[in-house]
Amino acid sequence: MATAREVKEYLAYWMQLGRKLVIGDRVVQLDRVIAGDHYTTRFEELWQEGQAHPTTTCLEGSNVTLQQLLAPNYELLECPRCDLPVPSASLGPRSVQPCPCDDLNIWPNFDTVPPHPPINTASQLRSLQERLGKS
């Protein structure tokens, strides 16, 4: 069972790679998910909206809804190919859902800064800047 925080990060990771969020019959893509040490207002709004409609909210390309992700029979595992979180049924035969990286041409790409949660401390920001400066 994933925590709300893990599910939020899972959505944020994939949306940083351009994946869209499906909420009911709407499909939303964000240019910016992270703004320094916090999520963007737009992402927070989508997250609130998704939590209000958990049965119809999922990542584009995934058939696992927010409600399923937050239930005990699902968990988030690291994709063996790209290390990003991917939903997996935690009961019965363990089958990892197809990872959203399956049909995402730009990912995995180990030359770019990987998707990340909001950065909280100045030191983490410094190390990110150093990595960006080197590439």
Residues that bind Zn ion (CB under 5 A): 79, 81-82, 99, 101
The least CB distance from residue 131 to Zn ion, in Å, is 21
C-alpha 53/C-alpha 116 separation (Å) is: 25
End-to-end CA distance of the chain: 37
Question: Please, which residue, 108 or 117, has the CB nearer to Zn ion?
Answer: 108
The least CB distance from residue 96 to Zn ion, in Å, is 9
Question: Please, which residue, 37 or 102, has the CB nearer to Zn ion?
Answer: 102
The least CB distance from residue 19 to Zn ion, in Å, is 11
Ordered alpha helix ranges (H), the chain? 4-16, 41-52, 66-69, 122-134
Q: Which of 55, 105, 64 is nearest to 85 (CA)?
A: 64
Question: Please, which residue, 96 or 125, has the CB nearer to Zn ion?
Answer: 96
The least CB distance from residue 101 to Zn ion, in Å, is 3
Question: Please, which residue, 57 or 62, has the CB nearer to Zn ion?
Answer: 62
CB 115 within 8 Å of CB 74 = no
